[in-house]
Amino acid sequence: MTRLFDHLLTLLPARKDARTALRSGKVAVRGVPTADGGRLVDPAEVSVNPRAPRITPGRDLAVVFRDDHFAVVYKPAGMLAVPAPGRNQEPDVIGVAARILGRAMPVHRLDEQTSGLMLVARTERARAALIEQLTAHRIERRYLALVRHQFPAKPLRIETMLLRNRGDGLRGSVDAHPALEARRPPHQRPVVAITHARRVELLPRDVSLVECRLETGRTHQVRIHLAERGFPVLGEPLYAPRRVRLAAPRLALHSSVLGLEHPATGQALRWDAPLDDTLEILRRQLLDSGKADDEGTSEKEG
């Protein structure tokens, strides 16, 4: 592994060329544009394309894959996934993708503050086929999250019944009582939600990097499940105390993996995106803070 910027210096004539390439979206890791020259990378996963569309990584939508049937796009944090009432002037993934691709239809959604991979259909037939895979739980979806506290070494399988309104206006898990639930209108009944979570890395400042695989895909599912198990996502605005919300510049949740069967050919396809620039920089800052603490302790002991 090597620093991305150092690797670029072996490919480009000068340091200023490397900086320009990073800032303008010409450098990608695993197909995803990045401006973070400080991240450690496998050189085999790095590409430099001078003809790539000029974008600002972390601000603009990027197309990771496209064919005549569907596309995989990289959504920046802060961009709506689909148009929202009263926010017509704000860009959204479907609108931006339609301008790039000619036609774009949603298959699933990401929260506004979540970054990462998102699936977009280009034909009605492809959309129907992809939604059928999604409904049958045949699309692989994984997220990376920076969470508060030390996540256990043993993976967790979290299964709950999620309710749209748990009583305080927020979504949450409830104990389902069949007789009681039968009296609710269908749209108010709890639905099963299943998340598989595993620890990727323990970080200083009582933070863990966690990977979550969705078995179901309910609204806010990962955020709720992690918070209810005592591991709220850093930057969480709804399901965690204020101190957790202030621990990151944004919701520290990232859509990292999409795996599916091609809607026309049946070919198995998979995309694996590295951690978003903002979250990767936060991760390194946490690691550096731990090193500084260790050095300070050594000096005191000496």
Q: Render pLDDT for 266-280 as a digit per residue (tens, 0 to 9).
A: 999 999 999 999 999
What domain count does the chain have?
2
- Using pLDDT thresholds of 50, 70 and 90, give the confidence band for residue 157: very high
Residue 79 has pLDDT above 70, yes or no: yes
* Interval 103-121 mean pLDDT: 98
pLDDT at 166: 80
pLDDT at 30: 97
Residue 45 has pLDDT above 80, yes or no: yes
Question: What's the rounded Cα separation, in Å, for the pair 232 and 151?
Answer: 11
Q: Are residues 48 and 62 in the same domain?
A: no
Residue 155 has pLDDT above 60, yes or no: yes
Q: pLDDT tens digits for 170-208? A: 999 988 655 555 556 666 788 999 999 999 999 999 999
- Give yes or no: 277 in active site: no
Q: Are residues 159 and 26 in the same domain?
A: no
Question: Is 280 contained in some domain?
Answer: yes
Q: Are residues 40 and 63 in the same domain?
A: no
| pLDDT top residue among 19 and 294 | 19
Long-range contacts of 163-172 (CB under 8 A, 24+ apart): 163/188, 163/189, 163/190, 164/188, 170/238, 170/239, 171/219, 171/220, 171/224, 172/224, 172/228, 172/239
Question: Is 301 contained in some domain?
Answer: no
Q: Are residues 185 and 243 in the same domain?
A: yes
Question: Is 299 contained in some domain?
Answer: no
Say what percent of the chain tops pLDDT 90.
86
Helix (H, G, I), strand (E, B) or coil at 186: helix
- 213, 216, 173, 209 alpha-carbon torsion, rounded to 10°: 10
Q: Are residues 145 and 7 in the same domain?
A: no
| pLDDT top residue among 76 and 191 | 76
Q: Which of 92, 111, 277, 288 is catalytic?
A: 111
Q: Are residues 147 and 36 in the same domain?
A: no
Q: Are residues 101 and 186 in the same domain?
A: yes
Q: Are residues 111 and 158 in the same domain?
A: yes
Where does a domain end: 52, 71, 89?
Answer: 52
Question: What's the rounded Cα separation, in Å, for the pair 222 and 146?
Answer: 12
Q: Are residues 140 and 41 in the same domain?
A: no
- Using pLDDT thresholds of 50, 70 and 90, give the confidence band for residue 291: confident
CATH number at residue 24: 3.10.290.10
CATH number at residue 124: 3.30.2350.10
Q: Are residues 34 and 159 in the same domain?
A: no
Q: Are residues 7 and 123 in the same domain?
A: no
Q: Which domain holds residue 7?
A: 1-52
Strands 115-121 and 253-261: parallel
* Interval 2-22 mean pLDDT: 97
Mean pLDDT (the chain) is 94
Question: Is 256 contained in some domain?
Answer: yes
* Interval 27-52 mean pLDDT: 97
Residue 244 has pLDDT above 70, yes or no: yes
To 5 degrees, how large is the angle CA 296–CA 252–CA 156?
A: 95
* Interval 101-112 mean pLDDT: 97
Q: Are residues 18 and 130 in the same domain?
A: no
